[in-house]
Structures are given as structure tokens and as C-alpha cells.
């Protein structure tokens, strides 16, 4: 049932994103207030991310990209960006508001050797979903910019960085730590 309903939810979000972008295309930029601009940016990012999330909950979408993508090549550069962008604080917020409970953490890692394999799989799934969303929302961002919705575009850019780029960096950082753990 999950393999039917979640892709349908994803298709619904594709339609909603299309409708929202079509409405923005046909409305002049001066028609909106700042709060509406923020709301539209949030919806675009939510729909774009949800499209990939729902499908990723039903299918192993991370396999659509070759395994070489998930291999870490320059860990020092990754750690530099992790520190420079303050992804650690993003991680702390996630722990505080979502992943803090043991029940939620066990979905990723249950403390066993097979749990490590599941954790690696989950990081791949998360990273792929956020990567797809990052690209899709970036395209929508360019679309809003070209139409002259500058405030929406700025809000959307910030939301996309925090909502999609930060999780990608976090998942890759998890794999640095996992590789060090597995080697020992």
C-alpha cells in the first residue's frame, strides 16, 4: 500500500508545485506582500522536497545515482564547509526538535552491525532526496528570479540552502564518521 500511496502523494506535490509556479508566472511581482513572498517560497521548497521524500520513503531512490557519488573524495573540504556553514548547529536543532527521541533515532541506527548498514542506506536515501530537491528548488528559484519575484527568490534561496544543502552536508559528514568507525 505504501508503494502506491507515497508515489501518489509525490505526484500530487508535482501538480501543486506546477500550479504554484504557474500562478506566480501569471501574477506581477508587485501584487504580493513580504509575508506572502515568504509563504510562497516556503511552499515551493516544501513541495519540491516532499516530491523526493515521498518517493524515497517507498523506493530505494538513492540507487538512481551511482555508488561513486556517495564515496567521499575530499573529506577535508567537506569538513571545512561543515564548520564554515555551521551545519553542527543545524544538527543540534534537528536533535532538539526531531531526532532527540530514541524512537526516532532507532529508525536510523538500532545499535547492531546491521544497524550500521541501515544507517548508511538511510544516509544515502536522505542525501539523494535532498539533492534532488536542491536541484528542483534551485530551478524554481531561477524561475521566480526571471519573473521578477525577487523577494520570493531570496527567501527560496535561503530556505533551499538550509533545508536541502545542510542535510546533504550532514549526511556526508555522518559517512566520514562511519568510515572512521568501520576502519577501526
pLDDT of residue 66: 87
The domain in which residue 33 lies consists of 2-183
Contact present, 109 and 116 (Cβ < 8 Å): yes
pLDDT of residue 128: 96
| Three-state SS at 171 | helix
pLDDT of residue 182: 66
Look at the chain and report how many structural domains it folds into. Answer: 1
How far apart are the C-alpha atoms of 176 and 72, rounded to whole Å?
7
DSSP annotation of 65 reads S
Span 133-164, pLDDT tens digits: 999 999 999 999 999 899 999 999 999 999 99
pLDDT of residue 13: 97
Write out residues in the chain with pLDDT < 70, as ranges.
29-31, 100-108, 110-111, 180-184
pLDDT of residue 175: 86
Amino acid at each position: 500500500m505504501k508503494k502506491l500511496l507515497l508515489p501518489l502523494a509525490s505526484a500530487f506535490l508535482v501538480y501543486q508545485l506546477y500550479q504554484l509556479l504557474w500562478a506566480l508566472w501569471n501574477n506581477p511581482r508587485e501584487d504580493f506582500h513580504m509575508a506572502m513572498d515568504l509563504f510562497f517560497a516556503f511552499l515551493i521548497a516544501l513541495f519540491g522536497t516532499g516530491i523526493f521524500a515521498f518517493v524515497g520513503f517507498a523506493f530505494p531512490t538513492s540507487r538512481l545515482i551511482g555508488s561513486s557519488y556517495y564515496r567521499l573524495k575530499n573529506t577535508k573540504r567537506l569538513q571545512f564547509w561543515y564548520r564554515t556553514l555551521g551545519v553542527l548547529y543545524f544538527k543540534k536543532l534537528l536533535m532538539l526538535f526531531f531526532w532527540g527521541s530514541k524512537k526516532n533515532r532507532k529508525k536510523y541506527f538500532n545499535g547492531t552491525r546491521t544497524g550500521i548498514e541501515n544507517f548508511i542506506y538511510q544516509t544515502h536515501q536522505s542525501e539523494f532526496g535532498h539533492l534532488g530537491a536542491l536541484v528542483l528548488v534551485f530551478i524554481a528559484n531561477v524561475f521566480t528570479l526571471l519573473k521578477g519575484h525577487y523577494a520570493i527568490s531570496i527567501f527560496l534561496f535561503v530556505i533551499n540552502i538550509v533545508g536541502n544543502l545542510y542535510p546533504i552536508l550532514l549526511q556526508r559528514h555522518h559517512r566520514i564518521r562511519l568510515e572512521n568507525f568501520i576502519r577501526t
